[in-house]
């Protein structure tokens, strides 16, 4: 069983990992208070695209992807993280037009395991936002209405929007941590 202290330490580690790894010119993360009593915190991720737009849908019945230069998504981090999987979602009125995004705004993510983290969830979702074909699941789509649209844009080389490696930072400073937080190893269950 993972302790509350282990979960908080894992979140602090995740903040450091995200700050060191991602390109802040494209990806901004904000750690917020949770929406519900089942979550430790909520992460808001803002992806800003300067050259080519991504695409959103604005309702469950919307069938026409609309171009946007800024896409936001959220991650609810539950108690028990990193053992318990976080929930990744878009707002129901502005969700990613992608085969991996359900029509209610939930993002389809991989199975959760010991090598998964907030960083891996953010990476996969940002790669979906730029339409990296490596993360698309056209044979098991969350939104089957977009399979042909997304495949056509990939064949015409409109997708991905830019090379996926551009989401990563080369050099970056760490956020300042509270003095009472100890930097340590990533917590694992049954320690």
Mean pLDDT across the stretch 145-159?
Answer: 96
The CATH class for the domain spanning 4-165 reads alpha beta
Q: What is the pLDDT of residue 110?
A: 80
- Provide the pLDDT confidence category of residue 170 given band limits of 50, 70 and 90: low
Please give the pLDDT value at position 185: 52
Residues 147, 157, 168: CA angle, nearest 5 degrees: 95
**pLDDT band at residue 182, thresholds of 50, 70 and 90?**
very low
Return the beta strands (E) in 63-190 as ranges.
66-68, 70-78, 87-89, 95-96
How confident is the model at residue 169, as a pLDDT?
86
Quote the Cα angle for 106-107-111, to 5°. 120
Question: Where is average pLDDT lowest: 25-34, 154-163, 180-189?
Answer: 180-189
- Separation in Å, CA 137 to CA 17, 164, 180: 27, 17, 43
What was the pLDDT predicted at 115? 87
Match 């108690």 to its residue by tokens: 79
How far is the C-alpha of 29 from the C-alpha of 4, rounded, in Å? 23
Question: What mean pLDDT comes out for the span 27-33?
Answer: 95
Task: Inform me whether the pLDDT recorded for 77 exceeds 80.
Answer: yes
């Amino acid at each position: 069983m993972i302790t509350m202290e282990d979960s908080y330490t894992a979140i602090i580690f995740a903040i450091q990992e995200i700050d060191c790894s991602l390109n802040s010119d494209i990806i901004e993360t904000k750690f917020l208070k949770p929406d519900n009593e089942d979550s430790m915190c909520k992460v808001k991720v803002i992806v800003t695209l300067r050259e080519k737009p991504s695409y959103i849908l604005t309702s469950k019945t919307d069938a026409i992807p609309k171009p946007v230069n800024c896409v936001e998504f959220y991650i609810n981090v539950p108690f028990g993280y990193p053992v318990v999987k976080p929930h990744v979602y878009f707002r129901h009125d502005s969700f990613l037009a992608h085969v991996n995004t359900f029509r209610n705004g939930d993002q389809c993510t991989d199975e959760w395991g010991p090598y998964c983290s907030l960083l891996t969830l953010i990476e996969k979702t940002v790669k979906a936002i730029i339409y990296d074909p490596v993360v698309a699941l056209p044979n098991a789509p969350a939104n089957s209405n977009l399979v042909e649209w997304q495949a056509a844009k990939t064949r015409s080389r409109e997708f991905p929007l830019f090379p996926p490696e551009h989401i990563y930072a080369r050099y970056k400073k760490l956020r300042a941590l509270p003095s009472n937080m100890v930097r340590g190893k990533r917590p694992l269950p049954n320690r």
